[in-house]
Chain A
Amino acid sequence: MFPILSSLIILPLIGSLFLIFIRSSEKNTSLKYVALFITFANFFLSLYLWKIFDPSISTFQFVENRIWIEGFINYKVGIDGISILFVILTTFITPLCIISVNSTITYRLKEFLIAILIMETLMIGVFCSLDLVIFYLFFEGGLIPMFLIIGIWGGNRRVYSAFKFFLFTLVGSVLMLVAIIAIYWISGTTDVEKLYELGIQEEYQKLLWLAFFSSFAVKTPMWPVHTWLPDAHVEAPTAGSVLLAAILLKMAGYGFIRFSVGLFPLASIYFVPLVYSLSLIAIIYTSLVALMQEDMKKLIAYSSVAHMGFVTLGIFTFTQQGIEGSIFQMISHGLISAALFLSVGVVYDRLKTRQIKDFSGLVNIMPKYAIVMMIFTLGALGLPGTSGFIGEFLVLMGTFKKSIITAAIASIGVILGAAYMLWLYKRVVFGSLLKTIDVKKMVDINKYETAILSSLAILIIVFGFYPEPLIKTYATSIDNFINTLNIPTELSLTEKIK
């Protein structure tokens, strides 16, 4: 069988090697086209993968199992209905990042493209790996290119942000490493499929769960360890922010489903109150914080924390709707946050400022921009008809089943979300044009930007009206996932949550 997953993982890496040997000139167009070609090839490969993927099977497909460290760790990759969507999201977002490079990266383009391509390899690897150690390698390896992306091409406080990002994530992850090794000695394997079958003894579950949680909570990010995210987002170049928001955060959500809940179901139930309260704080508190932001990127960063709060809430309902909603929310947030960061990038490139007070009345000079921005804003606040709505709706539905109060509080978050997004839109796009804005610089979006932003806008609307293709892909997998969890009867579960 053709190793399609490994090719997906390796292709960007080969591309980056290829880029190293291209002589970089000042014009640099060839570099960009090579990178673009490779990422598009990867995108089409992943679409092909989606086509031949059989959604009616709940087990892992396209599994490749090679001996890596004999008798210990196998290089095992495979996908099911949950992970394939994240793979496609990754391969879709990466070429957009590379197109956006056009106007944002003015120096050391070659290194930047190499970093992005290596990042793509690692991100796809995270979503495909079916062995804990392999997962850890990909998960942690991503720190190196991201550190460099923020540190080299970032804004003024880039060094501080890069360090904060790196060290926060590393602290969480090393605890996960301890847990992974402990799992190996407890169960004798790190193969995820085998671990699903074997299960892990109850007495170990809680500690192991906490160790995994520490890693994913930092990456998600959950309150109170979310503080690295606004800094990293604000300082990273546009493409870096997009990768961070659209894909890196999803690694943690994916990790919660696949590992925290999948491997330690009993501990997950035990810790439901903790997750619920942290998620609620994230939703309400960061929404309020977002209201007061003066920097556009920071506002969107805080809104990401709030949106990821919905994701964790949904996952830990253990209901079909909740988990489906979380995954949908992650995909849709991947699209919307990428779109929002790209739109901020558009105005930043023109005026070199991201302060909200420096903009007003953009609708007068940039009508096309105003339209796409409108779609993204509505998507972010979860208007019916956009993909944002379906995710939040399903999550709230799942939560309502388990705990009415939690669902009610979370709904307030939706209102707050509408408040800060609409207020942002009003202040930036509507109103009268500020005199300080140089009209000559503020030309409407060019054809590259139109291509990126409109493709995202179309997807957001299409999935809002017709979520079927996504839901169909993961429905069977999630069904099976929930059924195989060793969750005690429904009654005791609800008791514990109360």
Chain B
Amino acid sequence: MPELFISLSVMVLLVLGVFKNNSSKIIFYFSCLIILVSLAINLNINITQTIFLFNNSYLVDQLSLFIKSIILISAFFVMFCSYNYVRVNNILKIEYPILILCSLLGMLVMISSNDLIVFYIGLELQSLALYVLASFNRDNILSSESGLKYFVLSALSSGLLLYGCSLIYGFSNSTNFNEISQNFNFEYGVIFGMVFVIVGLAFKISAVPFHMWAPDVYQGSPTSVTVLFAILPKIAALTVFIKFLYGPFINLFEEWQAIIIFLSIASMILGAVAAIGQKNLKRLIAYSSISHMGYALAGLTTGTNQGIQSSIIYLIIYLIMNLAFFSCLFMLKRKDKFYENIEDLSGLSKKHPILALSFLIILFSLAGIPPLAGFFAKFYIFMAVIQKEMYFLAIVGLLATVIAAFYYLRVIKIIYFDPEQEKFDTSMSLGLKLTLILTTSVILMYFLNPNFLNKYITNILVI
């Protein structure tokens, strides 16, 4: 299992780091390798039915295997494309890759958990590593602030979540997901517990009204950590969302549907409106990811297989777009200084036509304009939503895309229509270029075969 492999190798790396001087570079490469190996292990697990381990508290099924692969692949690309940034900004210490591996381990555990306690352990392992990563650039006051902020708020949400778990345990006599859904009786205690759990999870995916931390943390953390924040915890937390809502809480469908619809609509609208005034690209993408999470949640409100499917597709396309966006961000370097304000992009298209074109494709895709991948992501979501005749949600969601289109267009305007500035560095690491080319071409070419993810995910959800 990849979890075991990662935890063993983290220990080995720690020992290596202690005994060998200047080993940070080697450890970075090793961690990339470890991620790849665990991906290979994960892909090699071939199961035909769900396997329960450790007294039913841990499960391996097709869905969790699939999401794990997605997480490992994106973690690899995150490491791959951020190496240059990490090196230049002097945060390449031995702890950095090890912390990433730890948080990765936490996510994998979280996804596979089938028990409230195991779930909580995974969640906390993930979060603790991320607190440290957020403040990793400790000479920078913003970075320290963001780490502290994330820690305080996240601890609060973890407390709520834990309280919810205890309520659920109290009223259903078990911490195991299967048993919770069996011992189910409609008591308010369980509903309260469920609401607290949802709040805790909504915090992790930064859905409105639990989004306050996102913009500050995104801006303050080093960009290489921001990309991590933008992608990995969201996939993990949303998968857990699916597992909770469609597992132990499926009998409470009517109760949680209203909550999720509210979270979804609020996130879509606030994410779209609040991003308009932003000046920092990382803050902008923070609000953009808030609104994207709103769309992903919209798929979950349907209660159908199709809805879950569309949410997972949305997540995958979202992560590809974010990866592409951050690769572009990593390229904005001029003499060892990275730029992240929107104004810095001014007139980019004249000196760097290809980078500007990638930005253009990515931003239009984020805005959901056909025929780019972002459109299909939204398309599937609204297919599922309209199937259940939730027209209000669909229309609000689509109008929010129009508002959101405005701020993406503003960035495009600055890139293409505004006067040019000094040139950025052109020599980029191979990993960065490769990531950008790969992700952008996926976004651009997605319309050729928009069905391949669906087919795959349908098979997974059947089992």
Contacts and interface: CB of A to CB of B under 8 A. Distances in A.
Given A151-B416, A178-B382, A70 B405 contact: no
Q: How large is the interface on A (under 10, 10 to 19, 20 to 34, 35 or more residues)?
A: 20 to 34
A69 B406 contact: no
B417 interface: yes
Given A141-B369, A181-B383, A174 B451 contact: no
A8 B370 CA distance: 20
A144 interface: yes
Contacts of B450: 68-69
Given A69-B451, A137-B371, A175-B395, A158 B386 contact: no
A148 interface: yes
DSSP class of A's interface residues: helix, strand, loop or mixed? helix
Contacts of A196: none
Contacts of B394: 178, 181
Interface stretch (B11-19, B93-101, B396-404): B396-404
B369 A140 contact: yes
A185 interface: yes
Interface string A143-180: 11001100110000011001100110011001101100
Contact of A137 (B383, B391, B447): B447
B413 A163 contact: yes
A252 to B, nearest CB: 17
A446 to B, nearest CB: 30
Interface in A51-76: 68-70, 72
A137 B370 contact: yes
B409 interface: yes
A155 to B, nearest CB: 12
Given A159-B413, A167-B406, A181-B382, A141 B371 contact: yes
DSSP class of B's interface residues: helix, strand, loop or mixed? helix
B364 interface: yes
A285 interface: no
B387 interface: yes
A212 to B, nearest CB: 14
Given A137-B447, A170-B402, A181-B382, A159 B391 contact: no
Interface string B428-462: 00000000000000000001001100110000000
Contacts of B447: 137
Nearest to B368: A174
A171 B399 CA distance: 7
A151 B364 CA distance: 15
B408 to A, nearest CB: 10
Interface residues of B, number: 30
Nearest to A70: B451
B387 A185 contact: yes
A40 interface: no
A177 B382 contact: yes
A441 B394 CA distance: 56
A31 to B, nearest CB: 15
A26 B112 CA distance: 60
B369 A184 contact: no
Contact of B413 (A136, A151, A182): A151
A182 B386 contact: yes
Contacts of B455: 70
Contacts of A163: 406, 409, 413
Contacts of B398: 174-175, 177-178
Contacts of B375: 137, 140
A16 to B, nearest CB: 12
Contacts of A178: 382, 386, 391, 394-395, 398
Contacts of A174: 398-399, 401-402
Contact of B402 (A70, A111, A171, A182): A171
A147 B364 CA distance: 11
Given A141-B370, A144-B369, A175-B395, A152 B416 contact: yes
A265 B353 CA distance: 48
Interface string A77-118: 000000000000000000000000000000000010000000
A162 B414 CA distance: 13
Contacts of A184: 383
Contact of A148 (B386, B391, B416): B416
Nearest to B353: A111
A376 B416 CA distance: 36
B110 to A, nearest CB: 33
Contacts of B401: 170, 174
A163 B379 CA distance: 23
A186 B424 CA distance: 53
A69 B416 CA distance: 34
A226 to B, nearest CB: 19
B364 A144 contact: yes
Nearest to B413: A159
A304 to B, nearest CB: 25
Given A143-B369, A151-B413, A167 B405 contact: yes
Contacts of A182: 386, 391
Nearest to B387: A185
A45 to B, nearest CB: 23
A166 B407 CA distance: 12
A494 to B, nearest CB: 34
A162 B398 CA distance: 20
Nearest to B417: A151
Contacts of A151: 412-413, 416-417
A175 B396 CA distance: 10
A140 B376 CA distance: 13
A137 B373 CA distance: 12
A175 B416 CA distance: 29
Nearest to B376: A69
A144 B412 CA distance: 11
Interface string B241-264: 000000000000000000000000
Nearest to B388: A185
B402 A167 contact: yes
User: Which residue among A144, A158, A174 has the maximum number of chain B CB atoms within 10 Å of its CB?
Assistant: A174
A182 B386 CA distance: 6
User: Which residue among A151, A162, A177, A184 has the maximum number of chain B CB atoms within 10 Å of its CB?
Assistant: A177
A410 to B, nearest CB: 33
Given A175-B395, A177-B398, A147 B409 contact: yes
Given A174-B398, A178-B398, A159 B371 contact: no
Contacts of B382: 177-178, 181
B368 to A, nearest CB: 9
Interface in A185-241: 185
Contacts of A167: 402, 405-406, 409
A167 B402 CA distance: 7
Contacts of B416: 148, 151-152
Interface of B: 353, 364, 369-371, 375, 379, 382-383, 386-387, 391, 394-395, 398-399, 401-402, 405-406, 409, 412-413, 416-417, 447, 450-451, 454-455
Given A158-B417, A181-B386, 16 more contacts: A72-B451, A144-B364, A147-B412, A151-B413, A151-B417, A152-B416, A152-B417, A163-B409, A163-B413, A166-B409, A171-B402, A175-B395, A178-B382, A178-B394, A178-B398, A181-B379
17 contacts: A69-B451, A69-B454, A70-B455, A137-B370, A137-B447, A140-B369, A151-B413, A151-B416, A152-B417, A162-B409, A162-B413, A167-B406, A170-B401, A170-B405, A177-B379, A178-B391, A178-B394
The 6 closest A-B pairs by CB, nearest first: A174-B398, A137-B370, A181-B386, A69-B451, A140-B370, A170-B402
